[in-house]
Chain A
Amino acid sequence: MVGVKSVPSPAISADDRSHEVDHPSSQLALFGTEQPLRLDCGVDLTPFQIAYQTYGELNADRSNAVLICHALTGDQHVANVHPVTGKPGWWETLVGPGRPLDPSRYFIICSNVIGGCMGSTGPASINPANGKVWGLDFPVITIPDMVRAQAMLIDRLGIDTLFAVVGGSMGGMQVLQWTAAYPARVYSALAIACATRHSAQNIAFHELGRQAVMADPDWHNGGYADRGIHPHRGLAVARMAAHITYLSDAALHRKFGRRMQDRELPTFSFDADFQVESYLRYQGSSFVERFDANSYLYLTRAMDYFDIAADHGGVLAKAFAGIQTRFCVVSFTSDWLFPTSESRALVHALNASSARVSFAEIETDRGHDAFLLDVPEFFDISRAFLQSAGKARGLTSKDG
Chain B
Amino acid sequence: MSAQEVLPFNGIVTTQSGNYRADHLLVAEMVKPGSKVLDVGCGEGDLLQLLETRGIDGRGIELSREGVNRCVAKGLAVVQGDADTDLVNYPDDAFDYVILSQTLQATRQPKVVLENLLRIGRRAIVSFPNFGFWRMRLQLLIGGHMPRTENLPASWYDTANIHFCTIKDFVELCDEIHVKMERAEALDLYGRPLRLRLPWWVWNLFGEQGVFLLSRGIGK
Q: State whether A387 touches B75 (Cβ < 8 A).
A: yes
Binds B, one of A47-55, A149-157, A295-303, A360-368: A360-368
Q: How far is the CB of B93 from chain A (nearest CB, A)?
A: 10
Q: Give the residues in chain B near A361, CB-CB below 8 Å.
A: 65, 68, 80
CA–CA, A361 to B76, complex, Å? Answer: 15
Q: Give the residues in chain A near B78, CB-CB below 8 Å.
A: 358-359
CA–CA, A389 to B75, complex, Å? Answer: 8
Ordered nearest first, which 6 A-B pairs have the shortest CB separation? A388-B75, A359-B79, A348-B89, A358-B72, A384-B73, A384-B75
Within 8 Å of chain A (Cβ to Cβ): is B94?
A: yes
Within 8 Å of chain A (Cβ to Cβ): is B74?
A: yes
Q: State whether B77 touches A357 (Cβ < 8 A).
A: yes
Supply 13 further A-B pairs (C-beta < 8 A) apart from A352-B91, A360-B80, A381-B69.
A329-B79, A348-B89, A351-B90, A357-B59, A357-B77, A358-B77, A358-B78, A358-B79, A359-B79, A360-B72, A384-B74, A384-B75, A391-B75
- Count chain B CB atoms within 10 A of each CB in A344, A354, A361, A362 and give the residue with the most: A354
Q: How far is the CB of A200 from chain B (nearest CB, A)?
A: 24
Which of B65, B68, B73, B76 is in CB contact (< 8 Å) with A380? B73
Which of B57, B59, B73, B77 is in CB contact (< 8 Å) with A381? B73
Which of B73, B75, B80, B94 is in CB contact (< 8 Å) with A359? B80
- Count chain A CB atoms within 10 A of each CB in B69, B75, B89, B91 and give the residue with the most: B75
Within 8 Å of chain B (Cβ to Cβ): is A320?
A: no
Within 8 Å of chain B (Cβ to Cβ): is A77?
A: no
Q: Known contacts A361-B65, A363-B65; decide if A352 and B90 are in contact (CB<8 Å).
A: yes
CA–CA, A359 to B69, complex, Å? Answer: 8
Q: Known contacts A348-B89, A352-B90; decide if A357 and B79 are in contact (CB<8 Å).
A: yes
Q: How far is the CB of A58 from chain B (nearest CB, A)?
A: 24
Within 8 Å of chain A (Cβ to Cβ): is B182?
A: no
Q: Give the residues in chain B near A344, CB-CB below 8 Å.
A: 80
Within 8 Å of chain B (Cβ to Cβ): is A377?
A: yes
CA–CA, A389 to B72, complex, Å? Answer: 12
CA–CA, A357 to B77, complex, Å? Answer: 5
Q: Give the residues in chain A near B75, CB-CB below 8 Å.
A: 384-385, 387-389, 391
Within 8 Å of chain B (Cβ to Cβ): is A328?
A: yes
* Interface 0/1 of B55-68, CB less than 8 Å to A: 00101000001001
Which of A326, A328, A348 is in CB contact (< 8 Å) with B86? A348
Interface residues of A in 373-400 (CB under 8 A from B): 377, 380-381, 384-385, 387-389, 391
CA–CA, A360 to B45, complex, Å? Answer: 14
Output the nearest chain A residue to B90 by Cβ-Cβ distance.
Answer: A351
Output the nearest chain B residue to A400 by Cβ-Cβ distance.
Answer: B75
Output the nearest chain B residue to A356 by Cβ-Cβ distance.
Answer: B77
Q: Can you list 21 pairs linking A and B with CB atoms under 8 Å apart?
A: A326-B77, A344-B80, A348-B86, A348-B89, A351-B89, A356-B59, A357-B59, A358-B72, A358-B76, A358-B78, A358-B79, A359-B78, A359-B79, A360-B68, A362-B69, A380-B69, A384-B72, A387-B75, A388-B74, A388-B75, A388-B76
Q: Give the residues in chain B near A329, CB-CB below 8 Å.
A: 79
CA–CA, A20 to B79, complex, Å? Answer: 42
Within 8 Å of chain B (Cβ to Cβ): is A110?
A: no
CA–CA, A329 to B90, complex, Å? Answer: 17
Output the nearest chain A residue to B95 by Cβ-Cβ distance.
Answer: A354
CA–CA, A390 to B76, complex, Å? Answer: 13
Within 8 Å of chain B (Cβ to Cβ): is A347?
A: yes
Interface residues of A in 322-357 (CB under 8 A from B): 326, 328-329, 344, 347-348, 351-352, 354, 356-357
Q: Give the residues in chain B near A391, CB-CB below 8 Å.
A: 75
Q: Give the residues in chain B near A352, CB-CB below 8 Å.
A: 89-91
Q: How far is the CB of B60 from chain A (nearest CB, A)?
A: 9
- Count chain B CB atoms within 10 A of each CB in A326, A351, A356 and give the residue with the most: A351
Which of A354, A359, A387, A388 is in CB contact (< 8 Å) with B68? A359
Q: State whether B79 touches A381 (Cβ < 8 A).
A: no
Q: Give the residues in chain B near A326, CB-CB below 8 Å.
A: 77
* Interface 0/1 of B173-192, CB less than 8 Å to A: 00000000000000000000
Q: Give the residues in chain A near B94, CB-CB below 8 Å.
A: 354
Which of A347, A356, A363, A381 is in CB contact (< 8 Å) with B72? A381
Q: State whether B77 touches A354 (Cβ < 8 A).
A: no
Q: Known contacts A377-B69, A384-B73; decide if A347 and B79 are in contact (CB<8 Å).
A: yes
CA–CA, A29 to B175, complex, Å? Answer: 67
CA–CA, A387 to B76, complex, Å? Answer: 11
